[in-house]
Amino acid sequence: MNNHNKPSIVVASPSCFYYRPGVRREQIKSSQLLLASYLSQHFPVTYVDFEHSIGQANTRVQVKRFERRARELLANMEFDILAISCWTSLSYLATMTVARCCRDLYPDRLIVVGGYHSTARPEDFVTEDNLFDYVIRGEGEIALKDIAASYPATGRPTETQVIVGQALEPSDYVPMNWDLVEDLVRTNFPDGLGTLVTFLSRGCPFGCAFCMETLKTRRWRCASVEYAINEVQAAAERFKFSALGFGDACFGVRSKWRKEFLRELVNLKPDFWVLFETRPEYLDEEDIALLGQIKSQVQIGLESCSPEMLSIMNKSRQPDKYLTKYREASHCLSDHGVVHGANLIFNHPGETGKTLQETFAVVDEELSRGMSTVIWTSHDYVHFPGSYIDNNRGLFEEKYGTQFLCPEWWKLSEEQYTNGRKVIPSHDLAGDRLKLWSDMLEARDQQMRDALTPTALSLAAGSQYEKWLNDPRIIDI
C-alpha cells in the first residue's frame, strides 16, 4: 500500500474477450512489461497478465467466470494504482471488466488506462461514474510516472482526466526487468517459451492508412547498439526460447545502426531464431548477407502488389519503385537462404477485382522463379480505430462504396475476430466476391508449397499453413 512518496503499482494486461477459442495472442506481453520495467525504477511494481492467470473469455458464461476470478485475484493483491494496458481494441471489454472489479473492491484507489485503444478512443473510457481516473494517450511511461509521483498528495481526481503522454527518448530507455515475469514464466512455461519479444526502437516514420501506429510519435528512436546487444544477451541468459523477436514497428530504419547491430548479433552466434518486421528498402545485400549467417526470419510489410492499392494504403508514394525494391530484397533474401514473409492485406477499403488480379500477377511471377524462401502470408483487412481509414470512413464510403458493417466491433459481446473484418471494400467486391482473394490464394496453394525450400516450408506449415504439415519435405528446425 501507499508508502509516502512510493505508491505501489500493478501493471495489468487484461486478456481479451470473444477472440478465437484456443488461440493465445502472445506468450509474454512485452510492450506492457516494458512499461512496468520503466516504472520499477521508481516505484514498487507488480506485473500481472490476466490472460495467463485466468484465460480468455469467449462466451457470456466465461465472461462471468472471468469477472469472478479477476475479483478474487485483485482482492488478494496490495497496491495503490492499477495501470491497465488496453494495448489492442481486442482487450477493450476485458479492460472494462477488470477496472470495474477493481473499483467495486477499492473505491479510493487510482485506476489508469493506456495503450493503442485509449489513444484512439479515449472517450470509450470516460464514464458517468468516473471508472477511470486517468486515460493516457500515446506513450505511457513518463505520464504514469508523473501520475504516481503526485498521487500521495493529490489522491483521485474529481473526474476522469485524459492526458497526452510524452514520448520516451533513447536516453531514458531501460532494460527489460525480466524479474517481473519470472513467476509467470515458471508457472505457465515450464518447458520454455516459444517466442520471446523485446524492443530496440520506437516509432515508425510511415503513415499507412490501415495502421494504428500512426497514433504515436512517428519519429524513429533507437537504443544504442550496445544496449540492444545487451538486451539480446540478457534475454538469452535468462530464458529458454526457440525465437527472439524484435517487436519494433519498423526494424532498422537507420542504415548505420542496422549494420552495426547485425554485425554484433552475428558475432554472438545465437542458437535461436531471430525475428523482426521491416520494409524492403531497409534491407540491402550487406544486411542480408549478415542475416544469412544466423537463423533469421524477416517479415516484410508488403501489404499489396497492386500499385493502385499501395497508393490507397499510403504504403508508398512511388508504388512501382517500392515493388521493384521488394523484388530485389526478396530475391537476395532467397539467394542467402533467409526465410522471409511477404505480408498481404486483402479486402482493404478500395480493393477491387482488378487490384486482386494485379497482386496475384506479381505472386505468379515470383512463383515462376522456382525455389525460394518467401512465405506469402495473407489475411483480411481488420478495421482498427484511430487509423486514417477509421478517421475518414466517409471518404472511402463515397469514393469506393466501402461499407463498415461493425465500426465499433470491440464493444460487441460476440466474436470480435470476425466482426473486425466485416468490411465490404468496394462496390466491386461484395457478397460472394468477398472471398475472391481466398479462392485465388487457394488456387495457388500447391505452387506456393512446391516453391519453398524445406526450411521455409517447415516454418510456413508451423504457423501460416497448418494443412502443409503432412508434406514429406517437412524438416525439424
How does pLDDT run across 144-171, given as a tens digit for each residue? Answer: 999 999 999 999 999 999 999 999 999 9
The reported pLDDT for the residue numbered 21 is: 64
The CATH number corresponding to 185-468 among 3.30.70.3270, 1.10.357.140, 3.80.30.20, 3.40.50.2300 equals: 3.80.30.20
Whether residue 17 contacts residue 55, with contact meaning beta carbons closer than 8 Å, is answered with: no
The reported pLDDT for the residue numbered 3 is: 54
The reported pLDDT for the residue numbered 23 is: 60
For 62, the grid coordinates are: 466465461
* pTM across the whole model: 0.94
Q: 137 φ, ψ to 5°?
A: -105, 135
Judge whether 9-168 and 185-468 match in fold.
no
The reported pLDDT for the residue numbered 4 is: 56
* Three-class secondary structure assignment of the chain: CCCCCCCCEEEEECCCECCCCCCCCCCCCHHHHHHHHHHCCCCCEEEEEHHHHCCCECCHHHHHHHHHHHHHHHHCCCCCEEEEECCCHHHHHHHHHHHHHHHHHCCCCEEEEECHHHHHCHHHHCCCCCCCCEEEECCCHHHHHHHHHHHHHHCCCCCCEEEECCCCCHHHCCCCCHHHHHHHHHHHCCCCEEEEEECCEECCCCCCCCCHHHHCCCCCEECCHHHHHHHHHHHHHHCCEEEEEECCCCCCCCHHHHHHHHHHHHHHCCCCEEEEEECHHHCCHHHHHHHCCCCEEEEEEEECCCHHHHHHCCCCCCHHHHHHHHHHHHHHHHHCCCEEEEEEEECCCCCCHHHHHHHHHHHHHHHCCCCECEEEEEEECCCCCCCHHHHCHHHHHHHHCCEECCCCHHHCCCCHHHHCCCEECCCCCCHHHHHHHHHHHHCCHHHHHHCECHHHHHHHHHHCCHHHCCCCCCCCC
CA angle 186, 191, 197 (to 5 degrees): 75
The reported pLDDT for the residue numbered 5 is: 72
Q: 298 φ, ψ to 5°?
A: -110, 130
Where are the domains positioned within the chain? 9-168, 185-468
Along the 477 residues of the chain, how does pLDDT read in single tens digits?
555 579 999 999 999 999 876 565 568 999 999 999 999 999 999 999 999 999 999 999 999 999 999 999 999 999 999 999 999 999 999 999 999 999 999 999 999 999 999 999 999 999 999 999 999 999 999 999 999 999 999 999 999 999 999 999 999 999 999 999 999 999 999 888 999 999 999 999 999 999 999 888 889 999 999 999 999 999 999 999 999 999 999 999 999 999 999 999 999 999 999 999 999 999 999 999 999 999 999 999 999 999 999 999 999 999 999 999 999 999 999 999 999 999 999 999 999 999 999 999 999 999 999 999 999 999 999 999 999 999 999 999 999 999 999 999 999 999 998 999 999 999 999 999 999 999 999 999 999 999 999 999 999 998 889 999 999 999 988
Is the CATH number of domain 9-168 1.10.3470? no
